[in-house]
Structure 1
């Protein structure tokens, strides 16, 4: 009797699950999805006017721009965001000399150990050190940023769709929510500690606008530091940190394509020669 009751209970449970699946599938197929604020008002990321030197078929790194981007990171972004995958010695790839790399590393303070006491301390950086985190741990990072932990920027442009364009658009996209957004989706208004940005996934993020005014950074090469210029430069720098071999990879791609084309032509000529003999024998 117990087995029979258990059988019918299981059968009923299976029927309910199948019914829910069929109803859900029918509803999803016949009823249009309800619009959300993110779908209606989210904007696609875009590149700055003129694009970047590392885009296109024949890319090159603009070392001057990468150095400006590093300056923006150091003076603005480094206050909250780490760059843990990068070592100071990697700055040599941006055109800095060995002496400049050593001086740049020494201008940073990195965690260290007191050799006499064994206690944690700090010291000037060395070229072999990684870029330090601005916070000792994630708890301190969350406490200083409204419970939002700033992400590491080393691979940011690889972690986001259209990464370079995303970084540039996000940095230049802060604005007040439009009246249309608030009228259609009142709940989409940024809450306490949040800031509206239509290029962010859910339109509101905890990071305050980092680039707020022209001249926030004084470029060493004399370039006018507008907000868009700073955003374009730091986006280029973060593209390099995420994939330093990007330009080399594309250049090697051309060599590989040329080799494959040459090999294809040789194979076709070899085939013609082999089958020409076979036809003569016939």
Structure 2
């Protein structure tokens, strides 16, 4: 696709080089006339709905809905910025290339219309980590959620380092980032038995009743669980690198500063903490 646009651009350049000078002059003058900026009426967010609890589909009252941490946070950001939010679903591998294609579409020679979504995408939320490679392709907001796991065990735990996950029964909330992490660990540690629960309260009760050897939680939620429960302690796993998830935007997007300001406000007023508790197993 990108190769085709490049060839079209070369062909157009060759044609323009043979135009009469007067014609080129008129064309140059017409391009200096500033067009009025488009009036923004909404924000369009793209995601790939296959990564719980960030974004996934759920049947509620016989209706399939898009839900998750990123979905709720996207709506909260749009509310602060004063726009309704439209959500577009794409395949994960198409998310960042679509942002790049839109940037190319703003040039004199736009890509074929059928190659882009009907609604231009303002930003992407899909549990994306701003790796060096990705930062070369698109812009990113500040980190909005730092992924860090914690293992909660009985206070009298005496079986070595709890973070090595070498025990038999580990409880997790499903779906959650910790559940996905535990399942990956189980692939390399066959003796690890991952048991899923619906909420943190029953997870903690199972640990206290010795039905589990340990539980794996988001670090923030683990701290709450230890503070509110008797006889438990937490051990924190090394933070994932690069730290956390961020919002992807088209290169040089004018929205980046506004979205960062909205994230700071949501952090300060406790909304992000509330959503972390809701979607990552908070009590």
What is the TM-score with the length of structure 1 in the denominator?
A: 0.22
Between structures 1 and 2, the one with greater strand share:
2
Between structures 1 and 2, the one with greater helix share:
1
What is the TM-score with the length of structure 2 in the denominator?
A: 0.22
